[in-house]
């Protein structure tokens, strides 16, 4: 069979388009913000991961422009060779201190950070134990690692995690990986119990805090800080593309671990380094987050207010405490219809359907930022009520 035959036969997106329900690739005509211009209309943005509301902040833009003036638009090489800037060292030192670790290492994307870390530290005789709802980058990193065996424990099921750990030889290397804040549900990982089991069975713990950093914890330091377990968490990673208003990723750990990753990680060694503009913007965002704690409080206030407004109108939501509020729509077609109607009314949300969730548990993933106002939440809540009543 021709290699491209599967491409020619793949028509699911076209069928959804023909039904007028295709919900993806809506183009923005303005900067990412609490309200955006999309397809010529003003839209309340409830689908962004811009949790700290910094993507369009003038200070980040000026930092990026200044870095371009000084360093140019790219680094033209790997960090290993000609691609390391003084700015990269400043960025890594700042995030190491932020996460209360000895050292840190910046990657060109968050996805690449997980690939680079997991494939470096896990060897032929080691085991990986993943939460079943970990991000796709962790799943791919697991597949690409040379681990002896990968295991998956039922989501947030500590009994199942312990059962998996019991089956691993006592003298084997073990890495437990979990999202800090799970991207679809907004649920916070049970890190205290994960660490307790890790210590009991001689495992190490890695937390993907792409969504947790800048959302929870002291100064927004994420899940480990939220539980007061920074010293007990072996590896912390986050991405710059969410709360830090930029692009890239960083991992923080002990100095020997970072040194090992730096010299053994193929995605790090063989990729061009993060551009100066992205590094400078992320560093500026970190400084703002640490100096303006009111942003974290406002994010919590806005999220809780919207949660209460939805519940007051009997809109079915998944309970939680973070800035991610999943709203149940159940069926696939109904999900697409509600998302379409909401966009017509003036609010953008992310529809989540199978295989990301089961076919009867489809949802709208809504997320909130420190740039949102209570007035915007009132308007958005009315749109949800109207869309649900109509459909």
Which residue in the list 242, 262, 298, 372 is annotated as catalytic? 242
Question: Could you tell me what percentage of the chain is helix, strand and coil, using 3-state DSSP and rounding each to the nearest 5?
Answer: 45, 20, 40
Read off the tokens for 49.
Answer: 């991961």
Catalytic status, residue 211: yes
- Rounded CA-CA distance 388/391 in Å is 5
Question: For residues 192 and 154, is the Cβ–Cβ distance under 8 A?
Answer: no
**β-bridge mates for residue 352, sequence order:** 363
- Rounded CA-CA distance 234/391 in Å is 48
Place of tokens 């979990």: 178
Looking at the chain, which runs of residues are DSSP E strands? 35-38, 41-45, 103-107, 127-131, 149-153, 174-179, 204-208, 235-239, 249-253, 324-330, 347-348, 350-352, 362-367
Please give the DSSP secondary-structure letter assigned to residue 314.
T
Which residue in the list 48, 183, 246, 273 is annotated as catalytic? 183
Question: For residues 239 and 233, is the Cβ–Cβ distance under 8 A?
Answer: no
Place of tokens 């549900």: 185
Per the document, the length of the chain is: 391
**Residue 331: CB partners within 8 Å, gap ≥ 6?**
359, 360, 362
Question: Given CA atoms 55, 58, 63, 64 in this order, what sign does their dihedral have?
Answer: positive
Which residue in the list 88, 164, 211, 372 is annotated as catalytic? 211
Q: Which SS3 state, helix, strand or coil, does residue 272 take? A: strand
**β-bridge mates for residue 105, sequence order:** 251
Question: How many angstroms separate the first and last alpha carbons of the chain?
Answer: 44
Active site (catalytic) residues = 183, 211, 242
């Amino acid at each position: 069979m021709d290699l491209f035959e599967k491409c020619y036969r793949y028509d699911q997106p076209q069928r959804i388009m023909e039904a007028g329900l295709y919900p993806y690739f809506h183009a923005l005509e303005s900067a990412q913000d609490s309200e955006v211009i999309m397809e010529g209309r003003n839209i309340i943005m409830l689908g962004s991961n811009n949790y700290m509301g910094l993507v369009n902040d003038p200070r980040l833009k000026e930092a990026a422009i200044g870095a371009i003036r000084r360093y140019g638009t790219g680094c033209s090489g790997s960090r290993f060779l000609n691609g390391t800037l003084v700015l990269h060292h400043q960025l890594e030192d700042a995030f190491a201190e932020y996460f209360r670790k000895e050292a840190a290492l910046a990657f060109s994307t968050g996805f690449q950070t997980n690939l680079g870390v997991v494939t470096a530290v896990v060897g032929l005789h080691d085991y990986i134990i993943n939460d079943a709802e970990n991000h796709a980058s962790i799943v791919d990193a697991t597949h690409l690692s040379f681990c002896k065996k990968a295991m998956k424990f039922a989501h947030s099921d500590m009994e199942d995690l312990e059962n998996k750990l019991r089956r691993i030889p006592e003298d084997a290397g073990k890495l437990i990986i979990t999202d800090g804040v799970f991207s679809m549900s907004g649920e916070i990982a049970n890190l205290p119990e994960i660490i307790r089991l890790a210590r009991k069975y001689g495992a190490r713990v890695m937390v993907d805090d792409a969504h947790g950093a800048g959302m929870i914890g002291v100064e927004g330091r994420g899940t480990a800080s939220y539980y007061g377990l920074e010293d007990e968490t072996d590896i912390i990673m986050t991405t710059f593309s969410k709360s830090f208003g930029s692009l890239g990723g960083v991992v923080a750990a002990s100095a020997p671990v970072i040194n090992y990753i730096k010299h053994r990680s193929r995605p790090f060694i063989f990729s061009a380094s993060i551009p100066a503009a992205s590094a400078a913007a992320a560093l500026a965002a970190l400084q703002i987050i640490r100096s303006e704690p009111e942003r974290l409080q406002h994010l919590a206030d806005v999220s809780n207010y919207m949660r209460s407004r939805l519940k007051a109108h009997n809109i079915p939501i998944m309970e939680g405490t973070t800035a991610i509020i999943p709203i149940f729509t159940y069926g696939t077609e109904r999900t697409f219809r509600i998302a379409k109607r909401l966009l017509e009314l003036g609010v953008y949300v992310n529809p989540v359907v199978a295989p990301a969730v089961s076919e009867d548990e489809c949802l709208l993933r809504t997320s909130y930022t420190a740039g949102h106002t209570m007035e915007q939440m009132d308007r958005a809540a009315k749109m949800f009520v109207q869309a649900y009543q109509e459909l």
